[in-house]
Structure 1
Amino acid sequence: MTSLALLGTLAVASPAAAADPLQHNCAVRAMPSVSYAQEMKCFTFFDQAVAYASGNTVDASAWRWDPRAAIYSPSFTRAVDTAPGDRRILSIEFEHADYRGYALVVWGTGGNCEPGRERVVKNLGQTTDHWWTDKVSSFSPYNGCYSEHFDDINLNRLLDGQNYKMDMTKGNDRTNALSLHGGLSAKEADDDCNSGKAKCTFTPDAKIEYVPTSIKDEMLGWNCSTQPQQIRFDDNITRTSSYTFEMGLSTSYGVEAGIGDTKSHVDTTLSLTFGASFGEQLAKDYDATQVIEPGSVGIISSAVANRKISGTWSVTYPKRKWYHTDWHPSMTAHRLDPDQPMHIVYNQRPMSSAEKASFCSRSSIGVSEPAGGARG
């Protein structure tokens, strides 16, 4: 009888003796360095940390017991990258490789990571037990962020980082600070190639393509009245050869070393690529009156012929810029065909709700200038 009673007591007591999960799933705020203040809050479960970090806009309850599956889930990534509001999850750091163990959800206000902008976490050991000190083994950035890892709380001794999910290849279990940023900006790449601060080379992806008609909206008129209105459009319309940098990945931290006198003017490089001067320009005066129907917009557009090339730049710095020496932005460039005339096209369509709210609050009729101003 004693033996049976003891077994019964053990059977009842066993569940109560089970330890609760520890509160090491944390959310930490990244802030601009100039206004930095520590802010970390910890929870029992992964989805609780995600909810707090996102301002309750991301529901990760389906992955409460398997955070690793969330990192590989397109639906979770989509939820994080499209969450509404000003508060964003910037990266999720993990205790173990392959996104296992406890998670540290890094968040910030001010929207997505943008090129040329940085938010930091200067100390991962913000809890009383300093639990997240020297713990990170893998990470997954979101919302356009690079997640850079440092051995020192003052962002010294760079360890590893990228803008895609990965295991720590250098400095495993040594992270004490983070930088969340959007990488090299298009303006920085352009300026630094032209000035010689970086060594820049361009590699076309394909042959030059002929584009017989490239259309650009130049002026927009509106009519918020109840009657058709005659509206005058007049301007000197100018089209120039143009290019657009689209920032891509940094493939390497690289070795810091001098690069010598290596100015690579973008226009000069593109002139060599096209086999003709890149600084072409076409201009045409336009002065005409158009009838715009009630609730409609009239659009003046220019149409030119050009030649198009796409490719990738290699932008290499002697000293790390945004913690990397090598950047690889893509570019699309259009060189005007000076032997073909510019055509002016007029079209009319109903106003969108956004246009109606914007234009009709200014005046019943008007014309927007190319720079975005307005005249009645």
Structure 2
Amino acid sequence: MRTTSKGTRIFAAVATLLAGMTAAAPAAQASEAETRPLPHCTMYISAGTVDCYATFHEAIANATGGKVTDAPSAASAMHDEVFAQRLNSLTEPDGSPKTGVARVVTSIEFQHPRYQGATFTWYQSRGCDNDTGVEYSVRNIKDHNSWWNDRISSFRGYSKCQVNHYEHTGFRGARTGYRSEMSTMGVMEDETSSLRWR
């Protein structure tokens, strides 16, 4: 009888603990859902201004200052060379913007490998030039959009820009090296905390 009573108390304690954990899980999920931005974000690198949109189409329209208003879906954009040519055509060979262009895309980052999932499009007033010096940098992604820290898994550069992804803030730790694109990022998948463009 005593064993049954003790077993009942243990069962009741475990049931109470599990109920508390179950109640906490939806709260944690709700908290993450509240902090996650809309799936397609853009950032003006120099100003640190981040805007997020429901569609990739809207994000590209913002990042190009309205010069590209009919972008394909994010999933097909990286396989659409006409789309790439349109983004790259906004700059002159030296990286300067063409007449009437105020914004150019420097890179599009994807949440998942092979250009899948949410996107983060970085833009600037001009592209990159022909030298090896750093043109633009983001020292800490968390300073601008904490949800994107350690979430980048593929990317493509535009406007003559190559991108170097760093594991830690302040351009420290493992890195991809300067690349025009990567459909998978190996050990750097979901590890980027800072970036440089050249």
Q: State the TM-score, normalizing by the size of structure 1.
A: 0.38
Deviation at 1:113, TM superposition (A): 0.5
Mapping of residues 108-119 of structure 1, within 5 Å: 108-109=124-125, 111-114=126-129, 115=131, 116-119=133-136
- Partners of 2:179 and 2:159 lie apart in 1 by 9
1:157 equivalent in structure 2? 173
Is the alpha carbon distance of 1:29 and 1:123 closer, same or farther for their aligned partners in structure 2, counting shifts above 3 Å? farther
Is the alpha carbon distance of 1:165 and 1:79 closer, same or farther for their aligned partners in structure 2, counting shifts above 3 Å? same
* Structure 1 unaligned spans of 5+: 1-21, 32-36, 182-376
Q: Does structure 2 retain, via aligned residues, the 8 Å contact 1:144–1:163?
A: no
**What SS does the corresponding residue of 2:122 show, helix, strand or coil?**
strand
- Partners of 1:161 and 1:96 lie apart in 2 by 19
Deviation at 1:75, TM superposition (A): 0.8
Q: Deviations over 1:306-340 (max 9, x none)?
A: xxxxxxxxxxxxxxxxxxxxxxxxxxxxxxxxxxx
Deviation at 1:38, TM superposition (A): 2.6
Q: Does structure 2 retain, via aligned residues, the 8 Å contact 1:27–1:41?
A: yes
Q: Deviations over 1:138-179 (max 9, x none)?
A: 000011111110122211124214432212123110111110
Give the letter for the 1:121 counterpart. Answer: V
2:161 equivalent in structure 1? 145
Mapping of residues 261-280 of structure 1, within 5 Å: none
- Partners of 1:60 and 1:157 lie apart in 2 by 38
Within the alignment, does 1:96 sit opposite 2:103 as a pair?
Answer: no
Q: Deviations over 1:9-47 (max 9, x none)?
A: xxxxxxxxxxxxx6121001223xxxxx53211111111
**What SS does the corresponding residue of 1:95 show, helix, strand or coil?**
strand
Within the alignment, does 1:27 sit opposite 2:20 as a pair?
Answer: no
- Partners of 2:180 and 2:134 lie apart in 1 by 18
Deviation at 1:127, TM superposition (A): 5.6
Q: Which has the higher contact order (CA 8 A, sep 6+)?
A: 2
1:75 equivalent in structure 2? 82
Q: Deviations over 1:157-204 (max 9, x none)?
A: 2421443221212311011111011xxxxxxxxxxxxxxxxxxxxxxx
Quote the sequence identity (%).
26
Q: What's the C-alpha RMSD, in Å, of the aligned pairs?
A: 2.0
Is the alpha carbon distance of 1:55 and 1:42 closer, same or farther for their aligned partners in structure 2, counting shifts above 3 Å? same
Is the alpha carbon distance of 1:158 and 1:54 closer, same or farther for their aligned partners in structure 2, counting shifts above 3 Å? farther
1:39 equivalent in structure 2? 49
Give the letter for the 1:80 counterpart. Answer: L
Mapping of residues 56-75 of structure 1, within 5 Å: 56-61=66-71, 63=72, 66-75=73-82
Larger radius of gyration: 1
Which structure has more helix as a fraction of its residues? 2
Aligned residues between the structures: 151
Q: State the TM-score, normalizing by the size of structure 2.
A: 0.69
Q: Does structure 1 retain, via aligned residues, the 8 Å contact 2:49–2:144?
A: no
1:131 equivalent in structure 2? 147
Give the letter for the 1:96 counterpart. Answer: H
- Partners of 1:169 and 1:89 lie apart in 2 by 24
Q: Does structure 1 retain, via aligned residues, the 8 Å contact 2:74–2:116?
A: yes
Q: Deviations over 1:263-317 (max 9, x none)?
A: xxxxxxxxxxxxxxxxxxxxxxxxxxxxxxxxxxxxxxxxxxxxxxxxxxxxxxx
Is the alpha carbon distance of 1:24 and 1:80 closer, same or farther for their aligned partners in structure 2, counting shifts above 3 Å? same
* Structure 2 unaligned spans of 5+: 1-36, 91-97
- Partners of 1:175 and 1:118 lie apart in 2 by 18
Q: Deviations over 1:35-66 (max 9, x none)?
A: xx5321111111111111111112244x2xx3
**What SS does the corresponding residue of 1:125 show, helix, strand or coil?**
helix
Mapping of residues 1-376 of structure 1, within 5 Å: 23-31=38-46, 37-61=47-71, 63=72, 66-83=73-90, 84=98, 85-109=101-125, 111-114=126-129, 115=131, 116-126=133-143, 130-166=146-182, 167-181=184-198
Give the letter for the 1:59 counterpart. Answer: T
